[in-house]
A and B are shown apart, each in its own frame.
Chain A
Amino acid sequence: MSTAPTTEVRTDCSADTDGRITFRLRLPSADRPRLLLVLRPKKGRPEEQSYTLDLETCGEHGHVRAVLEPRPALAEGRWDAYLLRAPDAARERLRPGLRDLRPLVDGGTRAWTSPVTVRVPYATKDGFLALRAWRRTAHVEAGPVDIADGAMTVRARLHGAELAEDAAVRLRLRGGGGTERSYRPHPAGGGAFSFTVDCGELAAAAAGSRVWDAFLRPAADAPPVRIGRLFDDVADRKGVYVYPRVTVGGAAVRPYYTVDNDLAVEVTAAG
């Protein structure tokens, strides 16, 4: 975490359907102010990527705004927002104001093209303004998950690639040296499909408590595409989209979203 000073000015932002983000704040006295976005590095690593936007005067009362255009696509991760009041000023971390994300809410109903890029402004747990970004060549957007009779059925849609006849859903054992289970997608037209996982069979496939990450191979020779849920205004899905456990034999099986909003299945050994 940064120890940069904090400005108490709240920054409002709004999002467009095409990914454009507009930031607005009140800054009565500043000399060529800029807004700085810094990709949060992994723990203990230095910051490597940042993006600077000019803050331009708009309207009266010292309001300024910066526009983050849809392109270039930001690298996947969490981008922290800072204010640079003047060319040589130290950066100040920004606090979030109103985030008008209405255009993002029904993103799942639209067709997306490659590369699939998503940006969701959000408030960090410690109350600062940040941006979550995803950038994927292709993406599978998960929809409703039906859980019944010891099986789960996921409805999903492929974006940015073609769903071929020989496509396959793969659950890959995390830390399992390439261990995978394969499932047949049932096409529903327009890139939409569903697949069903037998929870008992999955629990029996590996001993102990395990996590399986979900992918789709759109065609037998195509690279795997992550299955996740990115197309709305929810920046952190894990604690919000919560699915029930299926108890089979001595294990509990539960689909869930990872901290990156990707779909995974957790198998917990009982006892």
Chain B
Amino acid sequence: MKISFLIHNAYGIGGTITTTFNLAGALTERHDVEVVSVLRHREHPNLTPHPDVRLRALVDLRREKDHPLHRRPARVFPSAEYRHHQYSELTDQRIAEYLEGTDADVVIGTRPGLNVHLALQAPQRVVRVGQEHLTLDNHSPALRTALRRAYRRLDVLTTVTEADAGAYRRKMRLPGVRVEALPNSVPDPVLPAADGSAKIVIAAGRLVPVKRYDLIVEAFSQVVAEYPDWQLRIYGKGEEQDRLRAQIETLGLWNNVFLMGSASPMEAEWVKGSIGATASDFEPFGMTIVEAMRCGLPVVSTDCPYGPGEIIKDGEDGRLVPVGDSRAFGAALLELIRDDERRRRMGTAAVEHARRFAPGPVVAQAERLFEEAVAARNSGRRGGPGRAGTSHALISRGHAARDLAHAAASGALRTVRKGRR
């Protein structure tokens, strides 16, 4: 097959880029694969794709950021999409040209706005696969309304969790569209796994409010009170850095909690720890949880929507605690710190259980999905087996009406506010 990925900006850093490069690279073994980046702002990508993946860009911001069409707001890319402000008539035009001219068998969109382009503009012969790396419930009513109209024209819609796939099937009426969970994959680790002996807890990710590093720091004061020789290392950079630093000072944790800055690759850092920690309020998948587990760390995580609960088996290879509860989080950390034997056992289980997120099984699933969709399209059907049926029509209609009402109300509110300015 000839497979083309359409991505916002392949030259930056982020989970979607990592997972797209991982999947694209693995697919090159049997297929012809390209990654098409709508935007480009630098010569070399931050993350290096597999050498057999062809990478090209549609709009080069280094030369074209002042293009007259780039100053006019996008019309095809939905206005309710998170990144609408970065899209324009120029991106509308270039994406349309790319889709019209593509000779790919399968085109894969990697965010809602690009999935809309794909749904509306891809030629008949092309299989349209939309990928959702966020979750339906987190989208605004206006965006949900826009997606509800467009996504009917996709062949396949993939989410990163079963829970989110369930939400799409329940709340959107997408007849003929195959909706399936396709988790992110994490490459096989190179280093021997952690042995559980180090007195270090590790957290990693962008330092942004939704990740709730403050909760981990707060919880860690319980740990230090009982085990002053344990440390917490937080890897990453971001807007929360100063606030976390101040919190560490206020709680008197400067001998135990460290803001390590960003590290790449993280693998060599994970293996220095014995427990991983994530405390997000919201986590569509939870790539770092899988990374830590593949390195032999049991992970203590909040049971937030949706990723952690589908990755961690509570009590077997990690712990799930209620969202926003630092006492519970600290207690779960202490459970694993007190019991060396249990921690080691759970670390071993983590390695075994997280193998299902290895590129092998995930790529095989993606390949099967794409092949069946191609076969279905060639035979005049769409999607293939397991399509969203019509039995949920009534329920999804209710959700559609509610989203429309919300979207209309917030649209009206915006108009009123604009009028006042």
A residues touching B (Cβ–Cβ < 8 Å)? 12, 97-102, 105-106, 144-147, 233, 239-244
Contacts and interface: CB of A to CB of B under 8 A. Distances in A.
A132 to B, nearest CB: 16
Nearest to B250: A244
Contacts of B268: 98-101
Contact of A239 (B198, B261, B271): B261
B200 interface: yes
Contacts of A239: 261
B105 interface: no
B259 A240 contact: yes
A161 B223 CA distance: 35
Nearest to B263: A123
**What 3 A-B pairs are tightest by C-beta distance, nearest first?**
A144-B255, A244-B249, A98-B268
A61 B161 CA distance: 38
B41 interface: no
B245 A98 contact: no
B254 A244 contact: yes
Contacts of A242: 245, 254, 259
A241 B260 CA distance: 9
Given A144-B255, A145-B255, A98 B261 contact: no
A145 B265 contact: no
B200 A105 contact: yes
Contacts of B272: 101-102, 105, 233
B190 A240 contact: no
A242 B259 CA distance: 9
Contacts of B249: 244
A124 B245 CA distance: 24
A106 B265 CA distance: 21
Contacts of B225: none
Nearest to B189: A98
B198 A106 contact: yes
B258 interface: yes
B258 A102 contact: no
Nearest to B265: A98
Contacts of A101: 268, 272
A98 B191 contact: yes
A227 to B, nearest CB: 16
Given A99-B268, A102-B271, A145-B255, 15 more contacts: A98-B190, A98-B191, A100-B271, A101-B272, A102-B272, A105-B200, A105-B272, A106-B198, A144-B228, A145-B254, A147-B254, A240-B259, A241-B258, A242-B259, A243-B254
B32 interface: no
B281 interface: no
Contacts of A12: 190
| Most B C-beta atoms less than 10 A away, residue of A100, A239, A243 | A100
A102 B254 contact: no
Contacts of B258: 240-241
23 contacts: A12-B190, A97-B265, A98-B265, A98-B267, A98-B268, A100-B191, A101-B268, A102-B198, A105-B200, A105-B272, A106-B199, A144-B228, A145-B255, A147-B254, A239-B261, A240-B259, A240-B260, A240-B261, A241-B254, A241-B258, A242-B254, A243-B254, A244-B254
Contacts of A106: 198-199
A105 B190 contact: no
Contacts of A99: 268
Interface string B265-305: 10110011000000000000000000000000000000000
A62 to B, nearest CB: 16
B198 to A, nearest CB: 6
Interface in B225-258: 228, 245, 249, 254-255, 258
| Most A C-beta atoms less than 10 A away, residue of B228, B254, B258, B261 | B254
| Most B C-beta atoms less than 10 A away, residue of A101, A102, A146, A244 | A102
Contacts of B200: 105
A105 B198 contact: yes
A126 B268 CA distance: 19
A145 B256 CA distance: 11
A107 to B, nearest CB: 12
Nearest to B255: A144
A146 B252 CA distance: 9
B68 to A, nearest CB: 37
Contacts of A98: 190-191, 265, 267-268
Nearest to A14: B191
A97 B267 CA distance: 10
A98 B189 CA distance: 11
Interface in B172-209: 190-191, 198-200
Interface string B339-351: 0000000000000
B7 to A, nearest CB: 23
Nearest to A241: B258
B391 to A, nearest CB: 50
Contacts of B259: 240, 242
